[in-house]
Structure 1
Amino acid sequence: MFNIPTMTNQFSHIIADKINQKTKPLGALGLLEQCAMQLVTVFSQNVAEEHAFKAFTPSISKPTLLVFAGDHGVAAQGVSIAPSDVTSQMVANFVSGGAAINVFCQQLGWQLEVVDCGTLHPVTAASVHNCRLGSITKPLNTEMAMSTSQVQQGFNNAKQLIQQLYLNGCNTVAFGEMGIGNTTSAAAIMAAMLKLPAQQCVGKGTGVSDDIIKRKITVVEQALALHKSHLADPITLLAALGGFEIVHITGAMLSAAEKGMVVVVDGFICSAAAMVAIAINPEVKEYLIFAHCSNEQGHQLMLEALNVKPLLQLDLRLGEGTGAALSLPLLQAAVGFYNQMASFADAGVEQVVS
């Protein structure tokens, strides 16, 4: 389905040695060193010879953040403080430049793209990519959220979006989401994939009351029981529990890895999509950088299950890709020190042994 090349690590010893020879104690730049290792490894996948690699200068090219929007039938089950109408209203806000993600992308250098994956009220602005799979998913606790053919169409849409970015020279992508009710969908995916009880996966989302939390737990438990026979396969799991935007994010992660691009993973929703993507093709994980640990209950457990360390801990729970957006300066810093920081030999500094 997705032909993701196995990551070649033939130059890993050279990368590690170059990082270790910088004018600093070993490991003193912490996660930035791991980030540099991963970025340089991904960016150099098409470099075949050692002499070419030593002349290679890695760089982040045309970083692009796509916000995928979709509406969830489960929102009508009393699991959110906002009605589904807000999804389209926020899409319009993205178009007009008024959302947090607009501000962060403009400040930090991301190109922002907005994708309508299936919202109750379509926003017809020319700048919005039309990838609609419908107007809203079915309530996941009473029936399949969508069909498997809709999942496949979402993957096809994502592949086309990523192909265009790749042809335009982009090598680093991040994904955000907007969809009232989507933390319920993500919690159900998490519970199904990690085989955890719903109460460990369901959180406050946008800040709901304790009564709504209890309702969300019940809804997730109902969905898991109803779709028990569909949860072993990641495609049918997405059809049963997913959202139109989550499907597109999953497909976009796989498509970007297929093109050898770095994928910056945002918070709870996008990490749920990442879990599904890894289940579909485990090779994708090597291309994923996890931006932050959100304030959504369950996200820390999710990251621990994936055995990954996020770059940031800011207690964010907004979505939109805001955490992924904020990580770009760190990615740039990782590439920057790798390319520009002097070695002990270059600087004439006695090597520090830690």
Structure 2
Amino acid sequence: MPPVLDADRAAAIQARLDAQARPPGSLGRLESLAVQIGQILRTEAPRLQEPTVLLCAGDHGLVAQGVSAWPSSVTTLMMQGILSGEATVSVLARQHGLNVQVVDCGVIDPLPEQPGLVLRRVGAGTADALLQPAMTPEQCRTAIRNGREQVASLPGNAILLGEMGIGNTSPASLLLARLAGLPIEQVVGPGAGLDAAGRQHKIQVLGQVLERHVQATEPLDALAALGGFEIATLAGAVLQAALENRVIVVDGFITSSAVLVAARLQPAVLERCVFSHVSAEPGHRLMLQAMQADPLLQFGMRLGEGSAAALVWPLLESACRALNEIAPLEKVMARGA
């Protein structure tokens, strides 16, 4: 995958910003965001078109080991809430004019067909990774291919990554520990509400999972052994979106784990990624550091769903509008001549 960072284009975009009727650099991070978006879209006048929140959902066999405060059935309930427009990401997406596409990558209790729901099921939840690989190699390849195909079918030039899956902070933690070489106790957090004892149990279980799959060190091997259907689908989505030079807005810990896998396969995907925030989930900061990513916000959020990606979307739009619509200083000064 070729890089999109282009020194000449970046300089040309920055020159346009510096020539505007305001002190150079006065928009701070908004300027560097405009430069990045322009490079991703390969134009000095970037415009974001038809963005979609791609929200991938899946269940996890590892939940049977008590690593989550909630049962897997909640995944399906939350998917329905998103499709009904009642969930957090639904509200934020509606506010900002974002399309939301919920992809069933493999939940245990599937929903009936309805508007906004896409069926890309690989199975009824992954296997219990403490007992066997979470996915077979073929399931992992299928999920990645599903993500690629789903992105290829979307209009526009931007996707926002979202996810839903009870227990999916566990595979995200496992992938971070394995691919970044970090101790599991450093990366494990409370997820969706574990207390201190629950977190210690989670650390113990995930440590055993890593020991069981000690040979799974390459990105795809680790993804199959430790990951989830929704994470693998998102990894495929990231690879395809990057190949098409779409802007990729990354949400939190889970979606970042998919980006981590994709980046280990194709490092240039990171040039196409805008990281929305750093989550309160402790592993997320370490994951961002592993990718040398600089998130836009630190709001203490840890919800997932794509909520932070939707929240920062207006910043991306503002960056493009500021670049394209603020008058040059020369034009303003000419009015007084």
Short-chain TM bin: over 0.9
Q: Deviations over 1:275-323 (max 9, x none)?
A: 1110011111110000111111121122122212111111111110000
Distance (whole Å) between structure 2 residues aligned to residue 310 and residue 42 of structure 1:
17
2:328 equivalent to 1:343? yes
Which one is further off, 123-132 or 243-252?
123-132
Tell me how far 1:89 sits from its aligned partner. 1.1
Aligned to 1:23: 21
Distance (whole Å) between structure 1 residues aligned to residue 214 and residue 136 of structure 2:
16
Trace 1:316-335 onto structure 2 (pairs within 5 A).
316-335=301-320
Aligned to 1:294: 279
Trace 1:89-238 onto structure 2 (pairs within 5 A).
89-127=77-115, 128-165=117-154, 168=155, 170-231=156-217, 233-238=218-223
Counterpart of 1:140 in structure 2: which amino acid? A
Q: Deviations over 1:33-79 (max 9, x none)?
A: 111011011112xx6xxxxx5xxx32110011011100001111111
Q: Deviations over 1:85-116 (max 9, x none)?
A: 11111111122221111111100111000100
Q: Deviations over 1:99-138 (max 9, x none)?
A: 1111111001110001000001011223311111100111
Counterpart of 2:108 in structure 1: which amino acid? L
2:75 equivalent to 1:87? yes
Aligned to 1:43: 41
Distance (whole Å) between structure 2 residues aligned to residue 346 and residue 309 of structure 1:
35
Counterpart contact for 2:239–2:269, Cα < 8 Å = yes
2:36 equivalent to 1:5? no
What SS does structure 1 have at the residue aligned with 2:57?
A: strand
Distance (whole Å) between structure 2 residues aligned to residue 107 and residue 31 of structure 1:
23
Distance (whole Å) between structure 1 residues aligned to residue 319 and residue 97 of structure 2:
16
Q: Which runs of 5+ in 1 are unaligned?
A: 48-52, 350-354
Aligned to 1:352: none
Counterpart of 2:35 in structure 1: which amino acid? M
Which one is further off, 24-33 or 325-334?
24-33
Counterpart contact for 1:74–1:138, Cα < 8 Å = yes
Counterpart contact for 1:95–1:125, Cα < 8 Å = no
Q: 1:197 to 1:8 in 2, by over 3 A?
A: closer
Distance (whole Å) between structure 1 residues aligned to residue 312 and residue 71 of structure 2:
30
Give the number of aligned pairs.
Answer: 332
Partner residue of 1:250 out of 235, 239, 243: 235
Distance (whole Å) between structure 2 residues aligned to residue 5 and residue 322 of structure 1:
30
Instruction: State the TM-score, normalizing by the size of structure 2.
Output: 0.95
Tell me how far 1:8 sits from its aligned partner. 5.3
Counterpart contact for 2:78–2:164, Cα < 8 Å = yes
Distance (whole Å) between structure 2 residues aligned to residue 63 and residue 78 of structure 1:
37
Distance (whole Å) between structure 2 residues aligned to residue 20 and residue 143 of structure 1:
57
Distance (whole Å) between structure 2 residues aligned to residue 26 and residue 222 of structure 1:
54
What SS does structure 2 have at the residue aligned with 1:330?
A: helix
Counterpart of 1:73 in structure 2: which amino acid? G
What SS does structure 1 have at the residue aligned with 2:262?
A: helix
Distance (whole Å) between structure 1 residues aligned to residue 250 and residue 63 of structure 2:
24
Instruction: State the TM-score, normalizing by the size of structure 1.
Output: 0.91
Distance (whole Å) between structure 1 residues aligned to residue 323 and residue 125 of structure 2:
46
Distance (whole Å) between structure 1 residues aligned to residue 53 and residue 17 of structure 2:
28
Distance (whole Å) between structure 1 residues aligned to residue 170 and residue 274 of structure 2:
24
Counterpart contact for 2:5–2:271, Cα < 8 Å = no
2:64 equivalent to 1:73? no
Q: Deviations over 1:165-199 (max 9, x none)?
A: 1xx3x101011111011001101111111111111
